[in-house]
């Protein structure tokens, strides 16, 4: 039985991935290795309690001994989601980003070599490519040009993965995806932050002129892409995933306001993010061609379902919006709202 070590499986994308994999493949076992930082939450996988093919280990990817012990449980493959993932937090303090995203990846790569895993998947981001002007797309050939401490740490990790593949023949693939949305996303990122604020008539902070463009993809489409890269990706290759759904932030903000039946007076234009990337857009033709993958969830349907999820899961949101979250929120937005 393939036994996949999924790191960061208690976070947003990781938890959706673990649930997806266990539900769609009865022959696979999952070991979820997660440090349960502010972003990790076992409630995201409460429905898997007692599942016979699921094991949870509370562990930090920067802890070499603990990672090695986890791999000794018959792990055959590694899919590495664990990361510090929020750009604004990386601007406040880049230390945890370098530790987890760079050192943590190096430790996992060493373990992957030692235990001779069949496949190692590095879950990366389109942000490593930097920022686009009004036209063009990121392809897998686009040079890395990360602009934020977050994307720099993810690019550093990607380079290590490529070096281990080249030097040691580690069977590794890298995936780079655009902005995800969907259930269980921590409400510091744009869509869940704005939805949960608007549901409570709290103003929403639009950075700068709001004309920055992001490409939105439903988290399950990303999960299907990571799964395809794990099963069929060629070692040494990079695969981009995107939703073919570009939208300026202000247009998205107004759409959310309309869908929730709230007034536009809840918009607050606040100081721009430092070094804010202007536009991301992904060319995912390679994944379509080589992996037979394509995004399936339309933005209209996915967004409606996501809003409904946050409406019916107010108790989940309430546990997230704890003291730690509020102190981050206060530091980030303070009196601006
Ligand atoms: P998240 O912040 O929701 O979850 C991260 C998870 O990693 C949490 O469960 C956390 O506890 C865990 N973690 C953090 N540090 C750890 C450590 N040192 N050891 C073990 N576990 C640790 O992040 P997400 O949005 O689910 O992103 C998952 C991955 O996908 C990241 O690698 C991210 O860079 C990448 N990605 C995210 C997006 C997006 O839109 N969210 C897009 C492309 C790529
Ligand atoms: P975010 O969800 O943080 O993802 P990323 O920075 O990784 O793309 O932000 C998405 C976009 O929304 C980005 O252009 C920054 C912007 N944004 C705001 O305007 N206000 C906010 O409060 C947040 C969190 C993001």
Q: Return the closest-CA partner of residue 99 out of 149, 42, 165.
A: 149
Q: What is the pLDDT of residues 137-189, one digit of tens each?
A: 999 999 999 999 999 999 999 999 999 999 999 999 999 999 999 999 999 99
Ligand 2 atom at minimum distance from 208 CA: 19
Query: Per-residue pLDDT for 337 more than 90?
Result: no
Ligand 1 atom at minimum distance from 62 CA: 18
* CATH class, range 3-180+217-241: alpha beta
Q: Return the closest-CA partner of residue 244 out of 143, 86, 126.
A: 126
| Mean pLDDT for the stretch of residues 260-276 | 98
Query: Per-residue pLDDT for 274 more than 80?
Result: yes
Mutate to test the pocket of ligand 2, among 189, 194, 204, 217 (most ligand atoms within 8 A of CB): 189
How does residue 255 score in pLDDT terms, banded at 50, 70 and 90? very high
DSSP string spanning 21-41? HHHH-TT-EEEEEE---TT--
Level-2 CATH architecture, domain 182-213+245-275+297-329: Alpha-Beta Complex (3.90)
> Does pTM surpass 0.95?
yes
pLDDT at 93: 97
Active site residue 330: no
Q: Cα-Cα-Cα-Cα dihedral of 274, 217, 3, 290, to 10°?
A: -110
| Mean pLDDT for the stretch of residues 232-245 | 98
Residues of the chain with CATH 3.90.25.10: 182-213+245-275+297-329
pLDDT at 315: 95
Residues of the chain with CATH 3.40.50.720: 3-180+217-241
Average per-residue pLDDT in the chain?
Answer: 97
Name the residue at shortest CA distance from atom 44 of ligand 1: 125
Strand boundaries in the chain, DSSP class E = 3-7, 29-34, 54-58, 77-80, 119-125, 172-177, 179-181, 204-207, 213-218, 238-241, 246-248, 267-270
Active site residue 127: yes
Q: Cα-Cα-Cα-Cα dihedral of 226, 232, 233, 235, to 10°?
A: 130
pLDDT at 336: 79
Ligand 2 atom at minimum distance from 249 CA: 12
Q: What is the pLDDT of residues 288-336, one digit of tens each?
A: 999 999 999 999 999 999 999 999 999 999 999 998 899 999 999 987 7
Residue of 34, 77, 126, 215 marked active site = 126
Residue of 60, 127, 215, 227 marked active site = 127
Active site residue 271: no
DSSP string spanning 117-141? -SEEEEEEEGGGG----SS--B-TT
Pocket of ligand 1 (CB under 6 A): 7-8, 10-14, 34-37, 39-40, 60-62, 81-85, 100, 104, 123, 125, 154, 177, 179-180, 186
For ligand 2, whether the C-beta of 197 sits within 6 Å is: no
Burial 306-330 (b: 16+ CB within 10 A, else e): bbebbeeeeebbeebeeeebeebbe
- Specify which residues 218 forms β-bridges with: 181
């Amino acid at each position: 039985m393939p036994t996949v070590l999924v790191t960061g499986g208690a976070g947003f994308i990781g938890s959706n991935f673990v649930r997806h994999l266990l539900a769609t493949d009865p022959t696979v076992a999952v070991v979820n290795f997660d440090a349960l930082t502010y972003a990790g939450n076992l409630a995201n996988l409460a429905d898997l309690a007692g599942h016979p093919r699921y094991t949870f280990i509370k562990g930090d990817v920067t802890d070499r001994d603990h990672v090695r012990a986890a791999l000794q449980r018959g792990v055959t493959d590694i899919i590495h989601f664990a990361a510090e993932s929020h750009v604004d937090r990386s601007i406040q303090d880049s230390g945890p980003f370098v530790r987890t995203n760079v050192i943590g990846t190096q430790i996992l790569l060493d373990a992957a070599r030692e235990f001779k895993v069949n496949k190692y998947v590095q879950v990366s981001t389109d942000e490593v490519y930097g920022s686009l002007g009004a036209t063009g797309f990121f392809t897998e050939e686009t040079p890395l040009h990360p602009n934020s401490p977050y994307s720099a740490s993810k690019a550093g990790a990607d380079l290590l993965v490529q070096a281990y593949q080249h030097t040691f023949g580690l069977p590794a693939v890298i995936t780079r995806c655009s902005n995800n949305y969907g259930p269980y996303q921590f409400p510091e990122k744009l869509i869940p932050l704005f939805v949960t604020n608007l549901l409570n008539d709290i103003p929403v902070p639009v950075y700068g002129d709001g004309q920055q463009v992001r490409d939105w993809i439903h988290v399950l489409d990303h999960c299907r892409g990571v799964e395809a890269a794990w099963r069929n990706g060629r070692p040494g290759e990079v695969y981009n995933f995107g939703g073919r759904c570009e939208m300026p932030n202000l247009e998205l903000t107004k759409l959310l306001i309309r869908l929730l039946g709230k007034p536009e007076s809840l918009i607050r234009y606040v100081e721009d993010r430092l070094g804010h990337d202007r536009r991301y857009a992904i060319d995912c033709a390679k994944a379509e061609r080589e992996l037979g993958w394509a995004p399936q969830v339309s933005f209209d349907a996915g967004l409606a379902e996501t809003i409904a999820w946050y409406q019916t899961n107010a108790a989940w949101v309430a546990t997230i919006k704890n003291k730690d979250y509020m102190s981050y929120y206060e530091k980030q937005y303070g009196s601006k709202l």
